């Protein structure tokens, strides 16, 4: 049966691509997505799909009901864009100046709309319930948690998500067992010294000199306090202080970000950054105020569901088209929060095609995708539904 379903998907390829192009024209940011959500709901209404709006502020969930109501499998797509001015000349380029789908969320959304179309046609043969999650604000403050708080995962047994990858060829997918994306934490260190005339530095406490030692000391946390086999990054992004060339600065502000692949490492590095800042400053007679703001948690795939994605990929594309990543990405992705609540997997969809110039990295003003990848993503998610259902049925 599944082979017949997959074969019948091809005839809608133009429809899938058109959806992506229409979405690409109307990029919107964060939770403010009126045109995007209007387009999504218009398609769902056209297909006769049951859906709810304003989930997690501006998200949408669509529900399909299968033969076995005891199992529900969810698929998620993020739908927001980036504050980037698109410089490509494609006929469907952004109509919203300064905004662009430069991370492929228009592809993710069109894949989920494609899945909705196929499920609406095979509803009598659907083995279980399926929930489609259209999520806002992945690029900014994070839309996953608000959607979860509004019940997007209620009754869900497993979940799958896709992200386009411009470093994987179209027609291939990428998988990663275990940690896939990093947790991120921003920090701010205020170093408080004492101002004085530059001719008499002994009368003051130099916040700039102290800051230089704090920066050097904190960099040693990675090289000397963490296991070389565990990935972590500390980056200083800004340094601000001082008022005039002949005045010893009384205050310097440092900001940066910490990225780790586990909550344990995140906690450890935060403690070391705080201790290092405070004790180095004390040694120079200064004081340190250290502030942290946790962002997304680490995205950790569930291995048995990565196996399911791999199985689906081999069935659809062949074993040679499955790229198994050895290393984790140190970027962040809020699909992590879904995987903390229910088992599942996140995987990469290849969109690279040098012949058409689809070679630019994510978040680039010339970012382009090979649109033949859209149908691959749709078929992968359809296969994931059927294969995950068999796994869940067997384990109950």
Whole-angstrom distance, CA of residue 70 vs CA of residue 68? 5
Angle between helices 2-9 and 105-121 (to 10 degrees): 120
In this predicted structure, what is the pLDDT of residue 229? Answer: 86
Do residue 43 and residue 108 come from a single domain? yes
pLDDT in tens, 348-362: 999 999 999 999 999
Query: Left if phi > 0, otherwise alpha if psi is -120 to 50, otherwise beta: which for 289?
Result: beta
Do residue 38 and residue 58 come from a single domain? yes
Whole-angstrom distance, CA of residue 152 vs CA of residue 135? 10
Do residue 334 and residue 344 come from a single domain? yes
Do residue 120 and residue 265 come from a single domain? no
In this predicted structure, what is the pLDDT of residue 305? Answer: 98
- 264, 154, 144, 240: which is closest to 191 by C-alpha? 240
Q: Where are any strands of DSSP class E within 203-335?
A: 232-241, 247-248, 251-260, 287-294, 299-300, 322-324
pLDDT in tens, 16-33: 999 999 999 999 999 999
Angle between helices 303-317 and 373-395 (to 10 degrees): 130
Do residue 177 and residue 187 come from a single domain? no
- 307, 216, 289, 298: which is closest to 253 by C-alpha? 289
Q: How many CB atoms lie within 10 A of CB 200?
A: 9
What is the mean predicted confidence (pLDDT) over 128-156? 98
Whole-angstrom distance, CA of residue 83 vs CA of residue 205? 41
CATH number of the domain where residue 103 is located: 3.40.630.10
Tally the residues of the chain.
Answer: 396
Coil, strand or helix at 192: strand
Percentage of the chain lying above the pLDDT 70 cut:
100
- Domain range for residue 375? 2-181+298-395
Residues 6+ apart with CB under 8 A from 185: 257, 258, 259, 260, 266, 270, 292, 293, 294, 295
The pTM (predicted TM-score) of the whole model is: 0.94
pLDDT in tens, 277-315: 999 999 999 999 999 999 999 999 999 999 999 999 999
Percentage of the chain lying above the pLDDT 90 cut:
98
Do residue 285 and residue 136 come from a single domain? no
Do residue 268 and residue 313 come from a single domain? no
Which tokens in the block code for residue 169?
């060829």
What is the mean predicted confidence (pLDDT) over 162-170? 98
Residue 228, pLDDT > 90, answer no
Whole-angstrom distance, CA of residue 11 vs CA of residue 15? 9
* C-alpha separations of 155 from 68, 338, 387, 388 in Å: 13, 13, 19, 15
Query: What's the sign of the alpha-carbon dihedral 366, 372, 377, 378?
Result: positive
Count the domains in the chain. Answer: 2
Residues 6+ apart with CB under 8 A from 301: 176, 177, 178, 179, 180, 339, 344, 345, 346
Do residue 44 and residue 150 come from a single domain? yes
Among residues 294, 313, 336, the one where a domain terminates is: 294
3-class secondary structure per residue, 64-87 = ECCCEEEEEEEEEEECCCECCCCC
Cβ atoms 131, 342 nearer than 8 A = no
Do residue 159 and residue 205 come from a single domain? no
Among residues 252, 269, 294, the one where a domain terminates is: 294
Do residue 268 and residue 315 come from a single domain? no
Residue 224, pLDDT > 90, answer yes
CATH number of the domain where residue 274 is located: 3.30.70.360
Cβ atoms 362, 166 nearer than 8 A = yes
pLDDT in tens, 31-42: 999 999 999 999
Among residues 261, 294, 327, the one where a domain terminates is: 294
pLDDT in tens, 244-282: 999 999 999 999 999 999 999 999 999 999 999 999 999
Cβ atoms 82, 139 nearer than 8 A = yes
Q: Tell me what the pLDDT averaged over the chain comes to.
A: 97
Cβ atoms 59, 145 nearer than 8 A = no
pLDDT in tens, 55-96: 999 999 999 999 999 999 999 999 999 999 999 999 999 999
Residue 1, pLDDT > 90, answer no
Do residue 18 and residue 121 come from a single domain? yes
Which tokens in the block code for residue 217?
């000391």
Do residue 208 and residue 265 come from a single domain? yes
Strands 68-78, 128-135: pairing kind: parallel
pLDDT in tens, 179-212: 999 999 999 999 999 999 999 999 999 999 999 9
């Amino acid at each position: 049966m599944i082979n017949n379903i997959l074969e019948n998907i091809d005839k809608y390829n133009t429809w899938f691509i058109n959806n992506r192009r229409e979405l690409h024209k109307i990029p919107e940011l964060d939770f403010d997505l009126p045109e995007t959500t209007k387009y999504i709901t218009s398609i769902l209404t056209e297909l006769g799909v049951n859906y709810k709006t304003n989930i997690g502020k501006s998200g949408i969930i669509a529900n399909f009901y299968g033969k076995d109501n005891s199992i529900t499998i969810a698929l998620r797509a993020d739908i927001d864009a980036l504050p980037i001015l698109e410089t490509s000349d494609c006929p469907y380029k952004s109509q919203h100046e300064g905004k662009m789908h430069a991370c492929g969320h228009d592809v993710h959304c069109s894949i989920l709309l494609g899945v909705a179309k196929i499920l609406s046609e095979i509803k009598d043969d659907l083995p279980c319930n399926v929930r489609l999650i259209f999520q806002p604000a992945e690029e900014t403050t994070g839309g996953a948690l608000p959607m979860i708080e509004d019940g997007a995962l209620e009754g869900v047994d497993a979940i799958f998500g896709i992200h386009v990858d411009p470093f994987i060829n179209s027609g291939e997918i990428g998988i990663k067992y275990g940690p896939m994306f990093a947790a991120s934490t921003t920090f701010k260190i205020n170093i408080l010294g004492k101002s004085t005339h530059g001719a008499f530095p002994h009368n003051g406490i130099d916040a700039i000199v102290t800051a230089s030692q704090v920066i050097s000391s904190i960099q040693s946390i990675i090289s000397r306090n963490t296991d070389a086999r565990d990935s972590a990054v500390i980056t200083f992004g800004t340094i601000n202080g001082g008022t005039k060339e002949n005045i010893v600065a009384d205050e310097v502000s440092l900001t940066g970000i910490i990225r780790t692949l586990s909550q344990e490492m995140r906690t450890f590095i935060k403690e070391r950054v705080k201790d290092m800042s405070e004790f180095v400053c004390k040694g120079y007679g200064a004081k340190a105020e250290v502030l942290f703001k946790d962002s997304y948690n680490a995205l950790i795939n569930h291995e048995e569901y990565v196996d399911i994605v791999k199985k689906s990929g081999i069935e659809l594309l062949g074993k040679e088209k499955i790229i198994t990543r050895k290393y984790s990405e140190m970027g962040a992705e809020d699909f992590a929060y879904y995987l903390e609540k229910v088992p599942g997997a996140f995987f990469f969809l290849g969109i690279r095609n040098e012949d058409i110039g689809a070679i630019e990295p994510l978040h680039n003003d010339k970012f382009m995708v090979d649109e033949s990848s859209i149908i691959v993503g749709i078929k992968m998610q359809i296969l994931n539904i059927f294969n995950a259902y068999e796994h869940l049925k067997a384990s109950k």
